[in-house]
Structure 1
Amino acid sequence: MTSILYKRATTLDELDQIRKLQLQNSPQCINAVEKLQEGFVTVQHSVALLEQMNFACAHIIAKDNDSVIGFALVMLSSFRNEIKLLIPMFEKIDELVPKRKTYVVMGQICIAKNYRKQGLFRALYHFYKSELEDQFDFLVTEVDATNVRSLQAHEAVGFKIIDSYEEDGIVWNIVSWDWT
């Protein structure tokens, strides 16, 4: 059994590997059964945007030797306008998070297929919390309502649905993990 290392992303190679993992798990690259059973990632980030986000607050990754096998992106609210699809989410979050409370957005989480069902999802989130809970009151993200696997996994970690909205025919559940 290999030892998995949880850390903050520090190299361009790690960001490139995050991007490759995103592409492998996008809806266009997996079939309908896999989408239902395993989940999927909706947003695609450029390496340049991943690098800008990482510079502001480093992403959380899981590595097996030199390979990134999982990631949980850190997205500060200052990146709210960088991805058009996410603008409505940020607007909703601003309405939902109490004033004088701070939040960070989990920009996306993904585990490589060969490493699923081994506790990495939960471990990535717990590392995320240990790294950032002193800076933020809440971790917030949204999950496509059709991505049942992802929603169940988030609820198992401690997230609660705080709102839902529809945008361009997709129903989004906004989920929050209160760290206070």
Structure 2
Amino acid sequence: MTATTTGTATEDQITLIKHLQTMNLKRLLPQEECNKEGFVTMEFDITLLQRMHQSTPAVVSLNTPTVLAGYALAVSKEVALDHPMLSQFVNTVDSTCVYNGTPVSTLNYITMAQLCVAKEFRGMGVVAEMYARFKEEYRRRGFTCAVTSVAHNNPRSLKAHLKAGWVVLSTLEYQPGEPFDIVLLDFDKE
């Protein structure tokens, strides 16, 4: 196993996050690679990543100070509303999702905007390390759970989320014919 260090991102690491995101964007990858390795759907420019960082810093896993093994982006509702897909996601969660009989809109949740692990670090426990740190960081900030979406045609990602304790709440389509699962991670469950 390759050693990594997991913590909250610094402002200097935003460019590393953007680079890893770009390398894994579905629109830039061959379909065969998407099917085998997974992908990220949403694209965030540096300005939005900086805004996210100011209020809700990402959790990162580093192999060295300049080699990013992975990241988990957090986004506040206020910042999410400035991105078309994130806005649609938050509005759907707030209007339709229920967890254990409670409307999610009444819970103090944080949105995980995106999770990505560099290809050479997949299968090495990086996801579990980042989720543990993410839960710790955002529980400390007063959140009780996290929500995110996972593309139906990205089974590798859904498997990783379910293995880490996420539960499927609902589905949504950002575009017709492209369903996503809305999943929730309860910070009080181990």
Which letter maps to 2:127? F
For residue 168 of structure 1, what is the aligned residue in structure 2?
Answer: 175
Runs of 4+ in 1 over 6 A off after TM superposition: none
Matches within 5 A, 1:145-160: 145-160=152-167
| Structure 1 unmatched ranges of 5 or more | none
Within 1, Cα distance between the matches of 2:53 and 2:34?
28
Alignment of structure 1 residues 124-163 onto 2, 5 Å: 124-134=130-140, 135-163=142-170
1:57 Cα deviation after fit: 1.5
Q: Is 1:114 aligned to residue 120 of structure 2? A: yes
User: How do 1:56-71 residues align onto structure 2 when only pairs under 5 Å count?
Assistant: 56-66=55-65, 67-71=67-71
In structure 1, distance between residues paired with 2:143 and 2:124:
28
Distance 1:82 1:171 in 2: 22
2:132 and 2:154 map into 1 onto residues whose CA distance is 22
2:72 matches 1:72:
yes
Counterpart of 2:10, as a letter, is T
Q: Secondary structure at the match of 1:136?
A: coil
AA partner of residue 29 (structure 2): I
Rounded to whole Å, the distance in 2 between the matches of 1:113 and 1:4 is 14
Identity of aligned residues (%): 27
Q: What is the match of residue 82 of structure 2?
A: 82
Query: Contact 2:148–2:183 at 8 Å: present in 1 too?
Result: yes
Letter in 1 for 2:145: F
Over the residues paired in the alignment, what is the CA RMSD in angstroms?
1.5
Name the residue aligned to 1:177. 185
TM-score, normalised on structure 2? Answer: 0.88
User: How far is the alpha carbon of 1:99 from its aligned partner?
Assistant: 5.1
How many residues align? The count is 179
Secondary structure of the residue that 1:141 maps to in structure 2? strand
- 1:148 is displaced (CA, Å) by 1.1
Report SS of the residue matched to 2:170.
Answer: strand
Shift of 1:44: 1.0
- C-alpha change, 1:136 and 1:30, in structure 2 (3 Å) is same
CA distance in 2, matches of 1:46, 1:147: 23
Residue matched to 1:15:
14
- Measured against aligned partners, the alpha-carbon deviations of 1:56-98 in whole angstroms (never above 9, x if no partner) come to 1211001111222210001111112221122221111112244
Contact 2:2–2:124 (CA under 8 A) maintained in structure 1: no
In 2, Cα distance between equivalents of 1:161 and 1:68: 29
- The Cα of 1:101 is off from its aligned counterpart by 1.7
1:92 is matched with which residue? Answer: 92
